[in-house]
Amino acid sequence: MVKEFEDAAYKLEVGQLSEPVKSSFGYHIIKLTDKKELKPYEEEKENIRKELEQQRIQDPQFHQQVTRDLLKNADIKVSDKDLKDTFKELKK
Q: What angle do CA 46, 47, 53 make, to 5 degrees?
A: 90
The band of 91, judged by pLDDT with boundaries at 50, 70 and 90, is: low
Residue 83 has pLDDT above 90, yes or no: no
Residue 92 has pLDDT above 70, yes or no: no
Give this prediction's pTM.
0.45
The band of 18, judged by pLDDT with boundaries at 50, 70 and 90, is: very high
The residues, ordered by sequence, that sit 6+ positions from 52 with a Cβ below 8 Å of its Cβ are none
Amino acid symbol at 43: E
pLDDT at 90: 64
